[in-house]
Amino acid sequence: MANFLTRAWALRWIKRLFLFVLIAFVCIAGVRLYDAQRKPPLSLWHTYVPEDMHAHEIDHATWEEYIANENRLFDAVKKNVTDKLPADERVPANRYFSGSPIYPGHFRTDWNRSYTLMPQGSPRGVAVLLHGLTDSPYSLRHIAQRYQQDGFAVVGVRLPGHGTVPSGLTEVTAEDWEAATRLAVREARRLVPAPAPLHIVGYSNGGALALQYSLEVLDDPSLPKADRLILLSPMIGITAFARFVGLAALPAILPAFAKAAWLDIVPEFNPFKYNSFPVNGARQSWRVTRKIQQEVADAARNGKLAALPPTLTFQSVLDSTVSTSAIISSLYSQLPANGSELVLIDINRTAQWSPLLRASMRDALHRLSPVPPLRYRLTVLTNASATSPQVVEESTAPNETTAKVEPTGLDYPPDVYSLSHVALPFPVTDSLYGRTPDPNDDVGIQLGAQSVRGETGALIVGTGFLTRLLWNPFYGYIVERIDYLASHGP
């Protein structure tokens, strides 16, 4: 009798738990559907999906075949999007309108496409450049040109799903990006064979792919090994919410709720980066970060990390896109003494900003910085004092506890309180994102030079976009470090 009552009681609570979970799921789904339906209507660039190459094709393709398919993609986008735009979307702020000043097809160089650069004379090395999520090869073009000046050949690959229309990210997989990375490295080594140095530069999600490729090399010696990794704002860790973000797109299996497949539906006024963001993009990026963290841990446990290339990483202390702490805990704390370095860029600590910064932001550097001695070099760019805009380099060598302080000759601009995730690869003169854009390289819009004031609700873009720093006041420091690596062997 007692056992019967116990089973009945347990069954009753299981039913209650099931009902609770079901009600919670229905409520969450209802909120998600309501939120999705409030978004703007989908346009052609959200619904037309170009036929990009996938991993199994890319792994068997040559660079020339990849470029040929890429050319077909852009032709298809013109035919199925640009040429079919309804009248109300043929506006200057639409990158897909051929009459717009921001239409990339009219630029001297369309940096949405893959490219190779060759130096004058025989190359003394080769660099592979990997851009970020929703981005395009444009984002690393300045660093590419710097490598070219340093005598390196450069391969800049457009990762699958990018550079065309945001809907390209709705069907892409992390495996497609990884295959494109392998293809770019194969092409780099075809252009400049070993033993000439090979550098891989990755920005944001591209930084994760650069690291993932180098981890793959540890188990597959047939893959060309990089001599250096240079990572900018690498996506080693992102919010745990991204693990479940794919569930948010489930209602999109019903045509009436197609907008649920999108986290953001925003006007496409940037000629070299998507503003709209599909759920699948976040999901695939999360998969890359989880794979990296697991592979780093496995390689450390098996004693393989000693073969990882020396890694130089530049990271803003404040970053709302990737986890700065994950870069330290999931990567650098695992590395052996192999000549790696982490450069953290602190907030602007001048007195005028202190009253406006949250306490947690003011303490971010102290909270994040590992305590030496460390197996890698830790460098911090920070104000010389709380009242000085001058920036110094505080560098602690491996196995040391005291930092060496050197002036950089740089100042923190008085109206900038921190760097941002998106700022690192762009100089102040960048045509699109710079504060003082190069007048000889017009791309139809100057997003970084805007400092607007007015009433709310008048612009097609939110105020958060206009306040986020898009250019890097310390870009010169980054390229000087890259120049040094390019000039001093592997």
Written in H, E and C, the secondary structure of 312-323 is EEEEECCCCCCC
3-state secondary structure of 182: helix
DSSP for 24-53?
Answer: HHHHHHHHHHHHHHTSPPP-HHHH------
What integer pLDDT is reported at residue 258 of this predicted model?
A: 61
pLDDT in tens, 150-182: 999 999 999 999 999 999 999 999 999 999 999
DSSP state of 347: -
What integer pLDDT is reported at residue 450 of this predicted model?
A: 72
**What's the CA gap between 480 and 240, in Å, rounded?**
35
Q: Confidence band (pLDDT; 50, 70, 90) for 305?
A: very high
Tell me: pLDDT of 416 over 50: yes
pLDDT in tens, 441-459: 888 888 887 766 666 666 6
* Buried b / exposed e along 327-342 (16+ C-beta atoms within 10 A): bbbbbbebbeeeebbb
Residue 313 contacts by C-beta under 8 Å, 6 or more apart in sequence?
207, 230, 231, 232, 234, 327, 331, 332, 340, 341, 342, 343
Angle, CA of 468, 474 and 479, to the nearest 5°? 125
Q: Confidence band (pLDDT; 50, 70, 90) for 137?
A: very high
pTM, two decimals, is 0.90
Q: CATH number for 41-487: choose from 3.40.50.300, 3.40.50.1820, 3.40.50.2300, 3.40.50.170.
A: 3.40.50.1820
3-state secondary structure of 56: helix
What integer pLDDT is reported at residue 208 of this predicted model?
A: 97
Q: Between the CA of residue 61 and those of 182, 186, 190, 221, what are the distances in Å?
A: 11, 10, 14, 20
DSSP for 258-285?
Answer: GGGGEEE------TTS-SSEEHHHHHHH
Tell me: pLDDT of 348 over 60: yes
Say which residue the tokens 């803003």 belong to.
Answer: 316
The beta strands (E) that lie in 57-143 are given as: 115-117, 125-130
Q: Confidence band (pLDDT; 50, 70, 90) for 1?
A: low
Q: Confidence band (pLDDT; 50, 70, 90) for 142?
A: very high
